[in-house]
Amino acid sequence: MAKRILIVDDSASVRQVAGIALKGAGYEVIEACDGQDGLDKLSGKVHLIISDVNMPRMDGISFLKAVKAHPNYKFTPVIMLTTEAGETKKSEGRSAGAKAWIVKPFQPQAMLDAVARLVLA
């Protein structure tokens, strides 16, 4: 059975590029357009989450905190995929539970490498 990955990003093109790469590597992909949509779509077994930071309705850090507060998902690894490259925001993400930080624009293979490391962990 394919590992399920939730992609949360307000950019349809980022979700599409990430989704194509992940599906091509054999993962099942669920897409959400912001943090609130991500929480609404979070059900069943999700092996990994990829989230943007800057989004409407609910930003990625708030989304990450909500995920980690949920008993079924508190150990689910989360990769932040964002334009935010500053150390302050990275530190905030790590404190909230992010396991990896990838800066946009990104190389799909770098994302797939991070996903493979965390899904096996």
Domains located in the chain, CATH noted: 4-52+63-120 (3.40.50.2300)
Q: Are 43 and 84 in contact (CB under 8 A)?
A: no
pLDDT value, residue 53: 96
pTM of this prediction exceeds 0.85: yes
> Which residue's entry shows tokens 């962990």?
121
Phi and psi at 99, nearest 5°, equal -100, -20
> Which residue's entry shows tokens 């096996």?
120
Cross-strand pairs, 49: 6, 78
pLDDT in tens, 81-119: 999 899 999 999 999 999 999 999 999 999 999 999 999
44: region left, alpha or beta (phi > 0 left; psi from -120 to 50 alpha): left
Sheet with 100-103, side-by-side order of all strands: 28-32, 4-8, 48-51, 78-82, 100-103
